[in-house]
């Protein structure tokens, strides 16, 4: 008997919980008591929504679309900058083998400059060159290799206009002797060097200055040691020393101290164990492109840091990783900008972007599998809203507004001034007779916890409103007589409600936007 009583009690609870959506009270009647004055209850086109904080006055413009990831988690971009450039774009982001995405950081300084190329070594480590050097035109002295692999580089400390050094000879045991010349002359050639019986070579010493001279030749001795001449004469033009590789893989670079107007960065070599040695250049440039990003064996991506400022830039693209997590870039750009696209996750949870830009458009919002919608955060003036997306089970976030009067059944095309790029996962909606549906035919409703989401049909049990939607003359979405919704922080994303549920909530408008193929 007690068992039967328990069953009956449970059935009664279930019946009362679903009373709002039973046949005795059809969900189409779950409407507010009033409708928005002059609002349109129908719209013939598919549209999206974008979140616009009430503290900001957003200019109408183009909005970005939202995408979906593999496991359904959506991460929004965080934009904290207010303003440097009119149009800005961010560095592209790459994907690594384990799915981790690394984003570039752009802080913007120089007019136009190009970064040194980055190489990859055998174990996957990437070495980047440091460009610090300025020079007109210079090339380094050539370097030679000896038998045991040691490389000897010449030291150039300013030679003469044109001069030739005395020739050097080799003796039987491998010793090299240089000639000594003491005679001064305008044009002179070095004294010849001879070999003696035991193989010793005697070289002449040249102490006389000459207008034209050529550098002394370098010879090799029997054990492989190379002897280089030292020239102390100054020269107008010099070239940088070439870099060679030795037997054990060590690379020796020459040191050049001569300045030049035009200079190119020293080439980078690879040694046997895969280590890369880069040259250091301190030369500035007007035109520059960011350093390329490479991938290493385990899939880790190393991104370059660009501190150059530019007049035109665009926001960083967002990528998807293997487990479905999306990582967003941080952008510090401004006046006219569009927010980073947001994606949709499998269970329907939507994550919104955070923006603090001055005159910019907010990040688009997406929908997740269970229908949860997340809004973007904007902390600045003059920001346009982010497009909102839908989740699989239809969860969305709600609105509130203060005008009253009967809504119009006329089409709302004249109310919509903003556009956004449409992508997979973008929340696409239709409005007909005050009923809001998503692209999967689910019903837009305000559920028991005051959250805006999509479910059904029928809508979720205990739904408060499932009809009474309209588009206001200002181009905002409204439920009943209110077009003010609240975005409430939940971890690192926002949910949308038609009422404030705590201190973490802030009022927003849900701007209706036209979705276009980009």
Helix, strand, coil fractions of the chain, as percent rounded to 5? 5, 35, 60
| Residue corresponding to tokens 């904007």 | 378
- Tally DSSP H helices, then E strands, for the chain: 1, 48
Mean pLDDT of the chain: 55
Burial (Cβ within 10 Å: 0-12, 13-18, ≥19) of residue 480: buried
Mean pLDDT for 37-56 is 82
What pLDDT, on the 0 to 100 scale, is given for residue 507? 93
Segment 146-174 shows an average pLDDT of 50
- The C-alpha atoms of residue 338 and residue 336 are separated, in whole angstroms, by 7
Check whether 444 has a pLDDT greater than 60. yes
pLDDT higher than threshold 90 for residue 496: yes
So what's the pLDDT on residue 288? 33
CA distance 452 to 442: 12
Q: Which comes out higher in pLDDT, residue 504 or 508?
A: 508
Residues 281-324 pLDDT 10s: 444 434 333 333 334 333 333 333 333 333 333 333 444 444 43
Average pLDDT of the residues in 22-47: 73
Per-residue buried b or exposed e for 484-515, using 16+ beta carbons within 10 Å of the residue's own CB: bbbbbbeeebbbbbbbbeeeebbebbbbbbbb
In this prediction, residue 252 has a pLDDT band, given cuts at 50, 70 and 90, of low
Separation between Cα atoms, residue 156 and residue 242, nearest integer Å: 13
pLDDT tens digits for 223-241?
A: 545 554 444 444 444 444 4
Residue 452 has pLDDT above 70, yes or no: yes
- The whole-number pLDDT of residue 423 equals 81
Q: What is the pLDDT of residue 436?
A: 92
Q: Higher confidence at residue 507 or residue 299?
A: 507
Q: What is the structure's pLDDT at 447?
A: 94
Average pLDDT for 24-53: 79
Most confident of the following: 104-118, 383-397, 475-489: 475-489
Q: Report the pLDDT value the prediction gives residue 145, as an integer from 0 to 100.
A: 55
pLDDT of residue 5: 40
Is the pLDDT reported for residue 501 higher than 60?
yes
The answer to pTM > 0.85 is: no
User: Which tokens hold the place of 338?
Assistant: 């569009």
Spans of all domains in the chain: 21-91+318-518
Burial zone of 6 (CB within 10 Å; 0-12 exposed, 13-18 middle, 19+ buried): exposed
What's the pLDDT score for residue 205? 46
Q: Which of 367, 284, 488 has its CA nearest to residue 65?
A: 367
Given a cut of 50, whether residue 85 has pLDDT beyond it is: no
Q: Which of 116, 140, 67 is nearest to 389 (CA)?
A: 67
């Amino acid at each position: 008997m007690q068992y039967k009583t328990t069953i009956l009690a449970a059935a009664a609870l279930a019946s009362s919980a679903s009373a709002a959506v039973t046949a005795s009270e059809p969900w189409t009647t779950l409407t507010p008591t009033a409708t928005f004055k002059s609002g349109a209850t129908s719209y013939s086109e598919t549209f999206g929504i974008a979140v616009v904080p009430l503290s900001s006055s957003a200019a109408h413009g183009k909005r970005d679309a939202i995408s979906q990831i593999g496991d359904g988690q959506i991460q929004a971009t965080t934009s904290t900058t207010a303003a440097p450039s009119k149009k800005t774009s961010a560095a592209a982001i790459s994907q690594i083998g384990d799915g981790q995405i690394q984003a570039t950081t752009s802080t913007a300084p120089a007019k136009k400059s190009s970064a040194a190329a980055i190489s990859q070594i055998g174990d996957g480590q990437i070495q980047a060159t440091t460009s610090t050097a300025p020079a007109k035109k210079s090339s380094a002295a050539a370097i030679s290799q000896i038998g045991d692999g040691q490389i000897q580089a010449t030291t150039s400390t300013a030679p003469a206009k044109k001069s030739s050094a005395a020739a050097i000879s080799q003796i039987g045991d491998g010793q090299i002797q240089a000639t000594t010349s003491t005679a001064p002359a305008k044009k002179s050639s070095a004294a010849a060097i001879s070999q003696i019986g035991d193989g010793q070579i005697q070289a002449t010493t040249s102490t006389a200055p000459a207008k034209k001279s050529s550098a002394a030749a370098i010879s090799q001795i029997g054990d492989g040691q190379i002897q280089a001449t030292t020239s102390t004469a100054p020269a107008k033009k010099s070239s940088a020393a070439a870099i060679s590789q030795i037997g054990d893989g060590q690379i020796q670079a020459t040191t050049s101290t001569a300045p030049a107007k035009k200079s190119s960065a020293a080439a980078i070599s690879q040694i046997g164990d895969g280590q890369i040695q880069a040259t250091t250049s301190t030369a500035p440039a007007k035109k520059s492109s960011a350093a390329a990003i490479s991938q290493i064996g385990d899939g880790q991506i190393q991104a370059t840091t660009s501190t150059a400022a530019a007049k035109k830039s665009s926001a960083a693209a967002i990528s998807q990783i293997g487990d479905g997590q999306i990582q967003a870039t941080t952008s510090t750009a401004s006046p006219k900008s569009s927010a980073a696209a947001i994606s949709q996750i499998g269970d329907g949870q939507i994550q919104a972007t955070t923006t603090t830009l001055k005159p910019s458009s907010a990040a688009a919002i997406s929908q997740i599998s269970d229908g949860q919608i997340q809004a973007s955060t904007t902390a600045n003036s003059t920001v346009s809203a982010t497009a909102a997306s839908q989740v699989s089970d239809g969860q969305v976030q709600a609105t509130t507004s203060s005008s009253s009067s009967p809504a119009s059944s006329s089409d709302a095309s004249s109310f919509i001034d903003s556009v956004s790029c449409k992508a997979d996962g973008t929340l696409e909606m239709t409005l007909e007779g005050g009923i809001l549906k998503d692209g999967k035919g689910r019903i837009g409703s305000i559920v028991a916890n005051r959250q805006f989401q999509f479910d059904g049909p029928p809508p979720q049990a205990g739904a408060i409103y499932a009809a009474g939607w309209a588009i206001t003359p200002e181009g905002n979405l409204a439920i009943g007589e209110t077009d003010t919704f609240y975005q409430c922080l939940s971890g690192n994303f926002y949910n949308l409600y038609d009422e404030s549920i705590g201190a973490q909530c802030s009022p927003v408008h849900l701007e209706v936007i036209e979705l276009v193929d980009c």
